[in-house]
Amino acid sequence: MSFLNAVLIVVAVLGVGGVARVIIGPTIWDRILGLNLISSKIIVAIVFFALILEKSYLLDIAIVYSLIGFIGSVLISRFVEKKGQV
């Protein structure tokens, strides 16, 4: 097992914390934070897959996924802040 594979396994195990925060989180803000944590772990996993497979196009996918995740969290936060009123 190489170092990158070990790091990928550690990232996957740490992603369970984000899932727990989404499920357990008492407030909506905790759940949004957990979704952001899961999103960042997926981005890190994509980058490590790009390093393991030596495919540079996966880095572009990681950048696009991070932009979509950021825009999504901003929109969800604004929606929650305004209590569902558009």
The alpha carbon of 16 is separated from its chain's Cα centroid by a whole number of angstroms, namely 11
Q: How far apart are the first and last CA of the chain?
A: 51
CB atoms near residue 81 (< 10 Å): 11
In the chain, the domains with their CATH numbers are 3-81 (1.10.287)
Q: What is the pLDDT of residues 30-86, one digit of tens each?
A: 999 999 999 999 999 999 999 989 999 999 999 999 999 999 999 999 999 898 776
pTM of the model: 0.84
